[in-house]
Amino acid sequence: MTKTPFPKLSEMEGSAWAGFLRAHDLVTQRLDAELRASNDLALIEFEILLHLARAGGEKRMAQIAHDVVLTGGGVTRIVARLEKLGYLTRRSCPKDGRGIFAVLTDAGWAKQRAAHTVHVEGVKRLFLQNAKHDELAVLSAFFDRIVSRVRAKEQSRDDACALDKPTTKRGGKFPQTG
Amino acid sequence: MTKTPFPKLSEMEGSAWAGFLRAHDLVTQRLDAELRASNDLALIEFEILLHLARAGGEKRMAQIAHDVVLTGGGVTRIVARLEKLGYLTRRSCPKDGRGIFAVLTDAGWAKQRAAHTVHVEGVKRLFLQNAKHDELAVLSAFFDRIVSRVRAKEQSRDDACALDKPTTKRGGKFPQTG
DNA sequence: CCTATATTGTTGACGAGTCAAGCATATTTC
DNA sequence: GAAATATGCTTGACTCGTCAACAATATAGG
């Protein structure tokens, strides 16, 4: 009990936080628009194709959900979309009867490659370009720290399970990534 | 024509970009959940109350839309929600017959103060804590650069107006903040 | 002044992704 | 090895915020 009398952010803290939120919204908005205009793909759809490609062409639904921070239901629907467009196929997992693999088709590989150029160019122009070379390492380390700490807490919270508040009201977004 | 034969992100570039996306999703998700659990407010709702409070209690709809990177329609609906909850009132602008002010009520001020503690604590724990003191300035400057460059381009694109592609397909999110 | 154009805010229709329930398969416990 | 529990994916109902069209007001040009 040493402190906590009056919580407040310094000007720089507030600026960093606000900048983080606005920068994210503006950059993803623009990049999404560019990918749609050039390749008729939403940013989230491209990212799933990219993760699949990086994994050699296939990945399980739950793993995709973890990679892109989405709920299982959300992944089911996006994958269904991409399947209907012919970019991937579903295949059941032989080792685990419950599991489903999303598998890139030839068209999916091609689409991923086509959109990749626009994506890389956009990320550089909208995001990376704004960091001086020696700042990139700071940014990367910072974000990694955030992600691993939040995920560590998720883990330990799952372990300590049960008797947690039911949380959630007025059912909006931002759920547990179940 | 000196380069651009094969676009590619370095490992560090890719890591910074991916970290940015995941960090944002995880942090906002958690903060949103905490605000809902403690104060029954979505993060975006709290942010609007916060911006109103910072502006002395009132602000025009269009300004709110700009502040939080939302479309006009979105702001209309969130403000309607907050009005129904009793946290603010609409008042028409005397100087401009088209304009509408969102005005904090006493309950709105109280709610903002109540949620503020949870918000500040969450931002520190989930976000700021992960930066060493001298890194904060780098982050803040980086995000500011992103925001101002994107907004500068928006501006000049509006100036050069007309004959732009109609863009947008499969009407999803990420629109122009009109 | 009066018509053309731009801006502000609201609304119906819609797509996106969440939630919770459901079903199927795996894993654990006794 | 059977019952209890956990995990993986899907689906109906729902909320959120967008989009496009609209009404009202403001501003510019002749």
> pLDDT digit string (tens) for B127-170?
999 999 899 999 999 999 999 999 887 766 666 544 443 334 46
Amino acid at B49: L
The pLDDT of residue A102? 98
Find which of B30, B126, B140 to mutate to test the A interface (most A CBs within 10 Å of its CB).
B140
User: Which tens digits make up the pLDDT trace of B65-112?
Assistant: 999 999 999 999 999 999 999 999 999 999 999 999 999 999 999 999
The pLDDT of residue B161? 43
- The shortest CB-CB distance from A12 to any of B136, B167, B168 is to B136
Residue A162 predicted with pLDDT over 60: no
The pLDDT of residue B98? 95
The pLDDT of residue B178? 38
Q: What order do you get walking across the sheet with A88-92 strand by strand?
A: A58-60, A100-104, A88-92
Residue A177 predicted with pLDDT over 80: no
The pLDDT of residue A118? 96
- CB burial string A92-113: b at 16+ within 10 A, e below: eeeeeeeebbbebbeebbebbe
A175 touches chain B (CB under 8 A): yes
Pairing of strands A88-92, A100-104: antiparallel
The pLDDT of residue B165? 39
- Find which nucleotide's C1' atom is closest to B100's CA: C9
The pLDDT of residue B168? 40
The pLDDT of residue B170? 60
Which of the four pLDDT bands, split at 50, 70 and 90, describes residue A174? low
The pLDDT of residue B160? 56
B104 touches strand C (CB under 7 A): no
| Both structure tokens of A45 | 């759809």
- CB burial string B96-109: b at 16+ within 10 A, e below: eeeebbbebbeebb
A54 touches chain B (CB under 8 A): no
Mean pLDDT over A126-136 rounds to 94
The pLDDT of residue A171? 47
- The shortest CB-CB distance from A120 to any of B7, B28, B137 is to B7
A152 touches chain B (CB under 8 A): no
